[in-house]
Amino acid sequence: MEHEGNHMQLNSRPSVKRRLVQKAAASPSDSGKAVATSAARTGGSARKGVGARKGGGARKGGGARTGGSARTCGGARTGGGARKGVGARKGGGARKGGGARTGAGARTGGSARTGAGARKRAAKPLLYARHTAPRGPRTSRRSAMQLLGRRLGAEDAPMLGAAPDLRAAINRRWAERVEEHRLLESSWRSYHEASAGYAAAVFKALGRSDPGWVLLPVKSSVGIIVTAMNEESTITRVLHQLGRLTADALYVIVNGSTDRTFQAARQFPGAVVLSYPEPLGHDVGRAIGARLVGTDIMLFVDGDIPIAAERLVPFIRAIATGMDVALNDITPFLGTFKQRDQVTHMKQMLNWSLGRRDLEANSMTAIPHALSRKAVETIGAELLAVPPKAQASALLQGLAVGVAGSVNVIRRNKRRANNSGRMNQVAELIIGDHVEALKLAGDRLGERLRYEDSIRRRDAAGGGEA
């Protein structure tokens, strides 16, 4: 059973979570099948001369059999035992013509198939499956969006070179260019092509190597919060991708780790690393990070799932354009309702109960997700320790909640002893969190939430109004 990379460490009920958030925020321990042409049979590998079969079954020239049952040319059978004339495979149906293979990797020589109607391939190694359409030769041509980005970068490079904070200056100017040229009106792929071209041109003009930054189409400040416990094997890759984003702050909340997660995180330049000896859980770590970062936009990820920087940009952009809670759309990866587990059913039930069927089973328990500073201030950072309850609070208070991107974190979620199997400990914890969320909703909306009872007259039975 998989639960989107969250709740990997267990906590008790929110009262304990709340105390952990308060205590932890106050006293952190630290901060800071290629088949190439060599396989072709081209005469040289034919058996010819001593030991060659010549006559009845001899292979002459790349393995062609000449004589009694010899296959000559493209494998067509000619001679004593060849099918020649009526029934012979010659021409259209023969292995001489129709299905000839020519080019690199073809069997040229004795067993090569040549002739009219042959499937001719470009002279290149067989790097693709047989069913894949042949591709033309690679070229160095750049896309129109990349060329546009390069032109804009070359124009802006002189004014950016003297900036004290080049990273912030490039991103700020890029955000202006995005608006000027409406670079987000096409696909995200086109956007990233333009972004890469812009950064490459700036660094080329400045005589510096391109660090591979992924520029953000926002002017607001952006902070990233990473929570990690015993993620030594993945934390470096996670931080590498996050470091490509031109964000303003990066906080790593390491808790309860017994491996070298903390040391690995501290090696990453620009990261503020907080270490707590006891396990806090991902949710509590996020709550601590939200209290500390203070940026306009906050992006939350976990230390066990590396996600390409480009895949995270839509979440940041969604907050910059008016959303308060930008969720990860995991619906495409869940299967049918019958195939879903109890945790997924609870997520969907909560959203539906609050009048948001469009959210399906998408939840703040799954990463990546992003929040606005308005959302954190409205909900309260401490409530982030119970993600379903925080989501219910956001919906009840009229914050803009929606999906911004779709990253499959279910398949990549680490299997652990406490999050595998039917009704495991993590599942029970998350279901309990959703019960709390429903209780919060009931307290604010009434026992029936948003579902009216317009048929029964309960007062006639002496039960009062629902």
Altogether, the residues listed in the chain come to a count of 466
- Protein fold of 14-27+216-445: Spore Coat Polysaccharide Biosynthesis Protein SpsA; Chain A (3.90.550)
Q: Return the pLDDT at 28.
A: 60
**HEC-encoded secondary structure of 12-35:** CCHHHHHHHHHHHHHCCCCCCCCE
* Residue 312 burial (CB count, 10 A): 26
pLDDT tens-digit map of 158-173: 999 999 999 999 999 9
Domain boundaries, given as residue ranges, for the chain: 14-27+216-445, 60-81+104-114, 144-205
Sign of CA dihedral 214, 219, 221, 225: negative
Amino acid at position 21, single letter: V
Q: Return the pLDDT at 337.
A: 83
Nearest to 220 by CA among 295, 164, 315, 272: 295
Q: Return the pLDDT at 416.
A: 58
How far is it, in rounded angstroms, from Cα 193 to Cα 257? 39
The DSSP call for residue 136 is P
Residue the block writes with tokens 């802006």: 156
Low-confidence ranges of the chain (pLDDT < 50): 1-12, 30-140
For the entire predicted model, the pTM comes to 0.70
Q: Return the pLDDT at 414.
A: 60
Sign of CA dihedral 387, 389, 393, 399: positive
Q: Is 233 exposed, middle or buried (0-12, 13-18, 19+ CB in 10 A)?
A: middle
Q: Return the pLDDT at 97.
A: 41
